[in-house]
Amino acid sequence: MQLKPETKTKIKALLERYPQRQATLLPVLHLVQEDFGYLSDEVEELVAKELDIPRAAVSEVVTFYTMFYREPIGKYHIMACHNLSCTLMGAEKLIQHLEHRLGVKSKAPLGETTEDRRFTLTRVECLGACGEAPMMQINDKYHLNLTIEKIDKILEELP
Amino acid sequence: MEKKLLTKYWHDPNHKMLDGYLKNGGYTAIKKALGMEPDAVIEEAKQSKLRGRGGAGFPAGMKWSFIPKKTDKPKYVVCNADESEPGTFKDREIIHKDPHSLIEGIAICAWAVQSHTAFIYIRGEFTEEAKMLERAIQEAYDHGYLGKGICGTAFDLELILHRGAGAYICGEETGMLESLEGKKGQPRNKPPFPATEGLFQCPTVINNVETLAVMPWIVLNGGAEYAKLGTPDSTGTKLVGISGPVKRPGVYEIEMGMPLMTFINELAGGMIEGKTLGAVIPGGSSTPPLTPAQCEQAKISYESLDKLGSALGTAGIIVLPDDFSVIEAMTVIARFYADESCGQCTPCREGTGWLYKTMKRIYAGKGAAQDLQMLSHISAGMKGRTICALADAAAWPMEGFLRTFPEAFQKAVTPKQAR
Ligand SMILES: Cc1cc2nc3c(=O)[nH]c(=O)nc-3n(C[C@H](O)[C@H](O)[C@H](O)COP(=O)(O)O)c2cc1C
Ligand code: SF4
Ligand code: FES
């Protein structure tokens, strides 16, 4: 297993930009996770080598942040906000509906994945869009002012 | 009703692009600042009496003046775009509608403290917002507002956008510095303070997005003009967010000191049909709730909300209807802080865990009378004893809910047959 050449080029550019090597770790992990889908032991090792920092420094960071995955997840990661403003606007009903529809249990910090590996259903805390509650994030995109009908439509239209 | 300094051009869809921003007078403030002595810029910030908009309310000009003038070390400016205090969504609006005001504000701050490298630390989930900022930063580089010799002067400024990766605690300023250094986001012991030993052990200013984005106005119009607005302790305007079952949730810019009920009823349109006001959390989930009667007296200012036993915090108002259980609300809040404690300090790690466990039990109808004393006791033991303020941020709403809604808590721990 190897890092992609384009990724290596991007890492080099980051190393030139940042005042210190280890400071590039979060951006590098984001890049690498995009390539591999998750951060396995092997990938952590590659990152440590590339940045010339101890492997333990990489593992520590990967486990601390919820957006870094230690295992493969579904093609679509549904992150349903269950903090207060979303709860007030009916988030729990939406989440129950999704659990039912997808046949998985929602959990934090990482929920269950459907058998076909299409969806992972995670509960997350406030995503900073409370004025448009209830809301969910699917991969990179925010979906706002949700209703059961809207979320059904969104799921049906996903490629 | 609204008082638009920062949001004046937000109706203009081109304002987020450099062209539109320039047409609306953008980047004239940084040019003006670059023609002033750095200390004179700090003086304007001081005169404005602007208090940091990230929640703690520390005077921005004073913070800048703590950065040592004579030092061999590089200095850094870090913009806090972590926006993760529940109920808060104003910085996201600034990024969507006015990214160049933020970049210009960062440049003003960098000039004032003579820093040549700045970072924007944006929460990892804000992927679309990161792209928007990346585009605006590139535009600014392409037109000489960032990079080598900005605005044709000899002043260099690099601005790096840095994405977080999902951890509320990275909003705390020293947790953020650790995270920027590529480590776990665990807050640091203070002192030393970031002003002398911040990022990479160098002098560092950390300011919230809104604090920086309003700086161009202050430089252009003068700190004294800004201080004329609002109240003596809460000068200027404030972006106030409102969520919950109101007719027009969203972010509004108002002059400080507006009565809370005017804001809720007139700007946010009041409660949606069929809902009645039950309680208001005025400034993000760590601020204690207000009863409807308290809301009638409250003004949107630091001093008014302090006096009522709450706080302005981030000015993220959460409106609870009277048919929503305050026990459930507090359980959600307790869960949040328990999940987000970084675990370094025993009173925080254990305390937030106990508050959540106990609230969950009470919410499930399995609480006992002594649980209420325990909740107060645990909260008291969490305050002022930890590395960062997360423990306090968890204890305040707990104490606030107990104090404000004693009957609801009493009822919740009374066996059903006895009610
Ligand atoms: C637990 C915790 C979370 C915080 N989260 C944020 C945040 O998301 N955004 C923010 O600007 N400030 C946050 N702060 C406040 C920062 O530590 C810091 O005071 C602020 O960024 C300084 O900027 P200002 O003076 O412009 O407000 C948080 C503080 C604590 C204790
Ligand atoms: S108070 Fe809590 S969040 Fe803050 S450093 Fe201590 S354990 Fe971490
Ligand atoms: S509570 Fe859901 S986005 Fe803030």
Give per-residue pLDDT as tens, B359-416: 999 999 999 999 999 999 999 999 999 999 999 999 999 999 999 999 999 999 998 7
Please give the backbone phi and psi of residue B417, each rounded to the nearest 5 degrees, phi first.
Answer: -65, -30
- Best to test chain A binding among B85, B88, B89, B132 (most A CBs inside 10 Å): B89
Q: Do B86 and A140 touch (CB under 8 A)?
A: no
- Its pTM stands at 0.97
Question: Given this model, what pLDDT does residue B416 score?
Answer: 74
Please give the backbone phi and psi of residue B115, each rounded to the nearest 5 degrees, phi first.
Answer: -110, 145
Q: SS3 for B194?
A: helix
Residue A1 has pLDDT above 90, yes or no: no
* Cβ under 8 Å to B: A residues 32-91: 53, 57, 60-61, 64-68, 79, 82-85, 87-89
DSSP conformation letters of B232-246: SSSBSEEEEEEESSB
**How many CB pairs below 8 Å do chains A and B form together?**
145
Question: Given this model, what pLDDT does residue B230 score?
Answer: 98
User: Is the distance from the beta carbon of residue B60 to the nearest atom of ligand 2 less than 6 Å?
Assistant: no
Please give the backbone phi and psi of residue B117, each rounded to the nearest 5 degrees, phi first.
Answer: -135, 125
What does the CA dihedral A98, A102, A104, A108 come to, rounded to 10 degrees?
-40
Q: Does B182 touch chain A (CB under 8 A)?
A: yes
> Strands A136-138 and A141-143: what pairing?
antiparallel
Q: What is the ipTM of this complex?
A: 0.97
User: Is the distance from the beta carbon of residue B353 to the nearest atom of ligand 2 less than 6 Å?
Assistant: no
Q: Which residue stretches of B364-405 are H helix?
A: 369-382, 390-404
Q: Which atom of ligand 2 is found nearest the CA of B341?
A: 3
Q: Considering only the beta carbons, identify the residue of A19, A30, A128 that sits closest to B123.
A: A128
Q: In chain A, what are the domain boundaries?
A: 5-64, 76-157
Q: Considering only the beta carbons, identify the residue of A30, A60, A84 that sits closest to B165.
A: A30
d(CA B127, CA B120): 13
Domains of chain B: 13-227 (3.40.50.11540), 238-321 (3.10.20.600), 326-418 (1.20.1440.230)
Q: Considering only the beta carbons, identify the residue of B117, B163, B285 that sits closest to A26.
A: B163
Mean pLDDT of A25-53: 97
Q: Do A29 and B329 touch (CB under 8 A)?
A: no
d(CA B36, CA B33): 5
d(CA B328, CA B247): 23
A112 vs B419, higher pLDDT: A112
Give per-residue pLDDT as tens, B321-374: 999 999 999 999 999 999 999 999 999 999 999 999 999 999 999 999 999 999
Written out in words, the top-level CATH class of the domain with range A76-157 is: alpha beta
* Cβ under 8 Å to A: B residues 185-224: 185, 200
Contacts of A34 in chain B (CB under 8 A): none
- A5-64: CATH number: 1.10.10
Query: Is the previous residue joined to A54 through a cis bond, with omega within 30 degrees of 0?
Result: no
Q: Shortest Cα distance from B403 to chain A (angstroms)?
A: 20
Residues of chain B with pLDDT under 50: none
**Considering only alpha carbons, which residue of chain B is nearest residue A145?**
B249
